Amino acid sequence: MKNPVLLLALALVTMAFRTAPVKDALTPLDANKVRFEGIFEEYIQNSIIHWNKGVVPYAGFVQKFRTGRDFFAQGEMWGKAVRSGCMFYRYTGDPELKRLLRETVYDLLSTQRSNGSISCSDIGRQPDGPGGDLWERKYVLLGLDEYYEQVDRDPKVLQAMIGEMDCIISQIGPPPRISITEQGWSPNHIESSTLLEPVMRLYRLTQEKAYLDFARYIVEDAGGAMGYRIFDDAFRNVVPEKIGGVYPKAYEMMSLFEGLCEYYRVTGNDYWKTAIMNLFNNIIANEITLIGSGGGDQPYHPAVMGEAWDNTALEQTNPDMKRMMETCVGVTWLKFCSQVLRLTADPAAADMIEKYAYNGLMGAMKPSGDGFSYVNLLNGVKTNPEGWGGTVNGVNVTCCNLNGPMGLAYLPLVAVMNSDDGPVVNLYNAALIRTGTPSGRPVTLNMVTDYPHTGQIVIAVSPELPERFSIKLRIPSWSQFNSLSVNGKIISAKAGTYAEIHRKWSTGDTIRLHLDTRCRLIPAPRGSNRAGDAFQALVRGPVVLARDENIDTDYNKPVTFLSRDGFVEAIPEPPTLKNTLMQFMVLTTEGLIHVTDYASVNNWNGSHICTWIPIKK
Ligand SMILES: [Zn+2]
């Protein structure tokens, strides 16, 4: 859109909004302050041991910056592998992980070219649009930035980022430089503008005006994609499936909006906050499925391989769907939600993170810990590793193998946060949390629970000295009847809000929370195939349940559940298979059936899952 009248009108609209730097409502705790002891810890350690400290071919990734890429965008691999490693290091402080990361960071720095770039393209070919050079350099910058912020503040690393970014700015920008929307491999080139996030992170580190100017160029001049003003479309409440024309690419769009969150934080212009919140709410309303991710191939965007927004919330039972819910989409949704949570303290963002964490994210990970499914189905063969990627030093590497661990590494970042009034508990899982009170004194929260097996959570609060402050607890939107008390005194706890406990806390104070994990019977949405008449699903607390062919040959036979007021009785039983987290018996007109948590179902052997269960007429 180059219409000058329209551009002027947009400029006036954006100027009318308030501008001042934004203070986050919630802030992450410092490194090493959260120690999970439950199921989150098992998944995180499995990923660290078998992926980040296991098969990742760091030297092979770096080699592409010397010898060139084998296929478009391959240079993304290094940055993605390193940033999840750095975020895991933030959680564990593991010296062996640090050594691995340090070694590969200095290996990468040795590839920096004479123009400052760290790139898989020779200087003469830069900026290499079809090769995905800018997208790759985005991940170089994010990998280096995560290392610099989480592992080691070596000035050489900062200098390398500055060299990379200054080179980009010398090549890309307003005329006579090359437009960022002319660079990329996709139909609308949205991927290149995702440089917004690293440029804002580097601005935060350096306060260099040229970086903020470049960010402003990406957002306010270039508009996010070739031929589309992505941010303005989000502001105008365009549904996600229609943003960006034939290519509403879910992962890249949210990555772009992670950058917009950083841009809003610095500029404080509420126009951008409205764009962020509108996209966030429209994704929830139109895209997010039962297991907390989105995007699909049918019926709207078959050419985008299941990686486009697709009105997936409505289409999730569409039997024509072959590919949906790319793991990169789920993880980037989780990360975008964490930005919204920090900016606004909206409990809906934490609800969404929980929904994806316990279902889509865990359900996509290989039981062997060394990778993730690419796309994820609700009915059929759940996992499918086929997609963009290739073999590096004998290891099959896909974008989703690289992004999955980042989703796990974000769980400690969001589980408990801080506010001006005191700690805020977003996720429930057995954990020991060491944080600070509003006056800056240490306080420990010891969360004892077998969640998500039950909804019983006990938190022992131990401040160093007695102090008056608040502890906030997220009450999930699915939890209708709750009981919350401190030392036996009852406190109100309403679904979909934070329950606030403001009092003078002393060591020995104990919070008891009981969430309503009764098994809910969920009717299917009515998409273009009107499947609402045909399927139902079971969700118990945060956990989606499913039928598994591995334990039940009738796994996809129609049944009618015996329900009352929208709930069914799910009776716990010992799992049939040893790697199953939870298994239940549920009564139907066809007798008792066995269901397990969606995440535990192992379809890597080609067996099938049935999550939307056909209704017997
Ligand atoms: Zn992917």
Å from CA of 181 to ligand 1 middle: 22
How sure is the predictor about 2, in pLDDT bands with cuts at 50, 70 and 90?
Answer: very low
pLDDT, one tens digit per residue, over 34-57 is 999 999 999 999 999 999 999 999
pLDDT, one tens digit per residue, over 564-599 is 999 999 999 999 999 999 999 999 999 999 999 999
- Quote the pLDDT of residue 240: 98
pLDDT, one tens digit per residue, over 391-435 is 999 999 999 999 999 999 999 999 999 999 999 999 999 999 999
Question: Running DSSP on this structure, what letter comes out for residue 74?
Answer: T
Å from CA of 593 to ligand 1 middle: 34
Å from CA of 141 to ligand 1 middle: 19
Q: Is 133 left (phi over 0), alpha (psi -120 to 50) or beta?
A: alpha
- Quote the pLDDT of residue 385: 97
Å from CA of 407 to ligand 1 middle: 12
Å from CA of 539 to ligand 1 middle: 26
Å from CA of 373 to ligand 1 middle: 9
Å from CA of 72 to ligand 1 middle: 14
In the predicted model, is pLDDT for residue 100 greater than 60? yes
- Quote the pLDDT of residue 533: 73
Which residues, by Cβ under 5 Å, contact ligand 1, an ion? 326, 328, 399-400
Å from CA of 370 to ligand 1 middle: 15
pLDDT, one tens digit per residue, over 243-293 is 999 999 999 999 999 999 999 999 999 999 999 999 999 999 999 999 999
Tally of CA atoms within 13 A in the half-sphere of 227 that contains its CB:
10
In the predicted model, is pLDDT for residue 220 greater than 70? yes
In the predicted model, is pLDDT for residue 18 greater than 70? no
Å from CA of 274 to ligand 1 middle: 28
Å from CA of 337 to ligand 1 middle: 18
Å from CA of 402 to ligand 1 middle: 8
- Quote the pLDDT of residue 318: 92
- Quote the pLDDT of residue 7: 60
Å from CA of 403 to ligand 1 middle: 7
Å from CA of 314 to ligand 1 middle: 22
In angstroms, the CA 146 to CA 248 distance is 28
- Quote the pLDDT of residue 20: 75
Å from CA of 398 to ligand 1 middle: 6
Å from CA of 374 to ligand 1 middle: 6
In angstroms, the CA 143 to CA 76 distance is 10
In the predicted model, is pLDDT for residue 531 greater than 90? no
How sure is the predictor about 5, in pLDDT bands with cuts at 50, 70 and 90?
Answer: low
Å from CA of 199 to ligand 1 middle: 23
Å from CA of 580 to ligand 1 middle: 26
Å from CA of 120 to ligand 1 middle: 20
Token pair for 223? 């508009």
In this prediction, residues 15-19 reach a mean pLDDT of: 57
Q: Are 116 and 90 in contact (CB under 8 A)?
A: no
Question: Running DSSP on this structure, what letter comes out for residue 311?
Answer: -
Å from CA of 327 to ligand 1 middle: 6
Å from CA of 510 to ligand 1 middle: 43
- Quote the pLDDT of residue 528: 84
- Quote the pLDDT of residue 264: 98
Å from CA of 377 to ligand 1 middle: 14
Å from CA of 246 to ligand 1 middle: 19
pLDDT, one tens digit per residue, over 187-214 is 999 999 999 999 999 999 999 999 999 9
Å from CA of 399 to ligand 1 middle: 4
Tally of CA atoms within 13 A in the half-sphere of 544 that contains its CB:
30
Å from CA of 345 to ligand 1 middle: 28
Which candidate, 210, 212, 172, 175, places its Cα nearest to that of 196?
Answer: 212
Å from CA of 305 to ligand 1 middle: 11
Q: What predicted TM-score, i.e. pTM, was given to this entire model? A: 0.96
| 46 Cα distance to chain centroid | 19
Å from CA of 386 to ligand 1 middle: 10
| Dihedral Cα 280, 284, 286, 289, nearest 10 deg | 140
| DSSP-assigned letters across all residues of 399-447 | HHHHHHHHHHHHHHHHHEEEETTEEEE---SSEEEEEE-TTS-EEEEEE
pLDDT, one tens digit per residue, over 504-516 is 999 999 999 999 9
In this prediction, residues 79-84 reach a mean pLDDT of: 98
In angstroms, the CA 359 to CA 543 distance is 6
Å from CA of 400 to ligand 1 middle: 4
* Sole residue written with tokens 């716990």: 572
Å from CA of 248 to ligand 1 middle: 15
| DSSP-assigned letters across all residues of 158-182 | HHHHHHHHHHHHHHBSSTTSBPGGG
Tally of CA atoms within 13 A in the half-sphere of 229 that contains its CB:
18
